[in-house]
Chain A
Amino acid sequence: MYKRILLATDGSDHSLRSTEHAIHLAKCSEGTIDVVFVIDGDTSKKDVLRHANKIEIEKRRREKIQPVEERLEQSDVPHEVHMLHGEPGPSIVKFANEGEYDCTIIGSRGLNQLQTLVLGSVSHKVAKRVESPVMIVK
């Protein structure tokens, strides 16, 4: 049923919970997990300013999602990590729809309520526009 699972993550503790759900689902259907991590414009600006070169930027970003990757390593579920560049909502939607996934899993929020009110939640956009079933992990 859920052969190809897309897990959208930001490396937060919250997204670690989504990882658990993704692993469970993948194990049930012997599926694979594709992890996406989106780097938005402001993060690009900050990272380029802060770190000496491309290699260091790449390393820091890898470190951010390390908890998720480690958890996936332990689980023995085949998985792959993709770094996307752009606005989080549309980037995830595009990637999910082009990849024809069976299920998209995303954490409900990494932001506090004010930020959600102001910025709109990514998970809401994803739920609305991704064609596959979407699981929002609370």
Chain B
Amino acid sequence: MLAKIKQEWFGNVRGDVLAGIVVALALIPEAIAFSIIAGVDPMVGLYASFCIAVVIAILGGRPGMISGATGAMALLMVTLVADHGLQYLLAATILTGILQILFGVFKLAAVMKFVPRSVLVGFVNALAILIFMSQIEHFHGENWIMYAMVGLTLAIIYILPRFVKSVPAPLVALVVVTGAVIYMGFDMRTVGDLGNLTQQLPVFLIPEIPLNFETLQIIFPYALALAMVGILESLLTANIVDDMTDTESDKNKESRGQGYANVTTGFFGGMAGCAMIGQSVINVKSGGTGRLSSLVAGVFLMFLIIALGNVVVQIPMAALVGVMIMVSIGTFDWSSALNIHKVPKTDAAVMLTTVVTVVVTHDLSKGVFAGVLLSAIFFAAKISKVKVTEQLEQNGAKRNYYVEGQIFFASVTDFVNKIDYTENTLDVVEIDLTRAHLWDDSAIGALDKIEGKFENHGTTVVYTGLNSESQELKERIGGLSKASGH
């Protein structure tokens, strides 16, 4: 146990420290930009990334994964901030954390397997589209300089990594573009125009909200959506890090860790966050696989902000918009769009439904819900197909039906209708259920119904080949319905 803790923390010190520094540099532009998306001061996102990264380093279930303020979460809180303000957001953040802790305590991570892949793909695509759309408003009433600076930012972000890989390109872009704007004396909107940046450590605060039922009514729907989306993205990221490092991780512990992190960040003036796919990939690629990298990332981020806060406020919005466009391009799963005609139609429909629902409602959790619902319907439709083949025997005195499929409430109508009851010359009808499975009351009811229909012609119905589970069900329920029905 102690050896494991030691390994997780100090098994890879050099790699973790270097990767942590790279991640901290990459986190700054995103934390600021996500704050602006949410409609709060940049400090709220920066405090969140600091608190969450530090708490997750200690309590998370997936070493090597990076968590902080994220776009998915920021997008969910826009209306809460606009309608009720920051204090309600902080309260909602704490409640989000509590819900996530409960999620982990009751070991609900396994529920994730019911969220199909096409919903997850739809989720990330919708997220990318929303981040992109949220950047468009920054172009309103701007001149060519804005476009040029966004272009310059993107050019640096995409061209630089081809030559220099050790420094995160978005940060270089931020520095260069900020320098250029200040040097040329362009009058552009900056981060400072959109919010305050205080160069101090976060302090413990209890959100100033009335503690009553009305407050709960306001924040609960937001907290629930935040909790679900946060867990969804965190566990998805954990799976990616699992695969990248070829190791396993405790998903329930990670859920609890995300919860503790959000409770903490809420009390220290930060917004709710979750694991970040892009940053985690950067971390592992830079050599960070232990708990130390997340801690270093958080602490170094805070150090930079305290040391360089007065520079940060001068970052032009154009540079941040460029970074966010990069984030949205990187988040979008392009191959899912390019191969949409190749995947099964139902998968494509589920993915598109998720995307459209999110883009229309601006709520990722609603999109996920719609996607899961639709795929459940598709699944039920697919599984409720019953195949029946027939064969005549004994000179037309006996007919055999071979049934293939799942017999349950959704498939019984189809099943019963596939049998021909008009043949009145038969002595015996044998229904072979070797390749079928009876699941519920309706299945047994269907068998009784078939028997009943043939009884009119004096035809005996024999059921054969029931598997033991179906046989048991038939005896248990069948006996009852017979006794009461006849």
Residue interface mask A46-59, B partner, CB < 8 A = 1: 11111111000100
Closest to A85 in B: B246
Size band of the interface chain A makes with B = 10 to 19
- The answer for the CA separation of A49 and B335 in the assembled complex, in Å, is 11
With contact pairs A41-B285, A53-B113, A118-B162 given, residues A48 and B246 touching in the complex (Cβ less than 8 Å): no
With contact pairs A39-B243, A44-B240, A46-B335 given, residues A52 and B281 touching in the complex (Cβ less than 8 Å): no
Within 8 Å of chain B (Cβ to Cβ): is A70? no
- The answer for the CA separation of A50 and B239 in the assembled complex, in Å, is 12
B185 to A: closest C-beta gap in Å: 36
Within 8 Å of chain A (Cβ to Cβ): is B89? no
- The answer for the CA separation of A53 and B112 in the assembled complex, in Å, is 11
Q: A57–B117 contact, CB under 8 A?
A: no
Within 8 Å of chain A (Cβ to Cβ): is B284? yes
With contact pairs A41-B284, A41-B285 given, residues A85 and B277 touching in the complex (Cβ less than 8 Å): no
Within 8 Å of chain B (Cβ to Cβ): is A76? no
Interface residues of B in 257-295 (CB under 8 A from A): 277, 281, 284-285
Q: Report chain A residues within 8 Å CB of B236.
A: 48-49
Interface residues of B in 203-239 (CB under 8 A from A): 236, 239
A52 to B: closest C-beta gap in Å: 5
- The answer for the CA separation of A39 and B239 in the assembled complex, in Å, is 14
Within 8 Å of chain A (Cβ to Cβ): is B121? yes
- The answer for the CA separation of A57 and B333 in the assembled complex, in Å, is 17
With contact pairs A87-B285, A118-B162 given, residues A45 and B240 touching in the complex (Cβ less than 8 Å): yes
Interface residues of A in 24-65 (CB under 8 A from B): 39, 41-42, 44-53, 57
Residue interface mask B128-166, A partner, CB < 8 A = 1: 000000000000000000000000000000000010000
> Which secondary structure characterizes the binding site on chain B?
helix
- The answer for the CA separation of A50 and B347 in the assembled complex, in Å, is 11
- The answer for the CA separation of A49 and B236 in the assembled complex, in Å, is 8
Q: Report chain B residues within 8 Å CB of A42.
A: 281
Q: Report chain A residues within 8 Å CB of B285.
A: 41, 87
Could you jot down 30 A-B contacts, CB within 8 Å? A39-B243, A39-B244, A41-B244, A41-B281, A41-B284, A44-B244, A45-B244, A45-B281, A46-B333, A46-B335, A47-B243, A48-B239, A48-B240, A48-B243, A49-B117, A49-B120, A49-B121, A49-B236, A49-B240, A50-B117, A50-B336, A51-B117, A52-B116, A52-B117, A57-B243, A83-B246, A85-B243, A85-B244, A86-B244, A118-B162
Question: Which residues of A are at the interface with B, using a C-beta cutoff of 8 A?
Answer: 39, 41-42, 44-53, 57, 83, 85-87, 118
Question: Which residues of B are at the interface with A, using a C-beta cutoff of 8 A?
Answer: 113, 116-117, 120-121, 124, 162, 236, 239-240, 243-246, 277, 281, 284-285, 333, 335-336
Additional pairs, 8, CB under 8 Å, beyond known A44-B281, A49-B121, A85-B245 = A39-B244, A41-B281, A45-B240, A45-B277, A46-B333, A49-B333, A52-B116, A57-B243
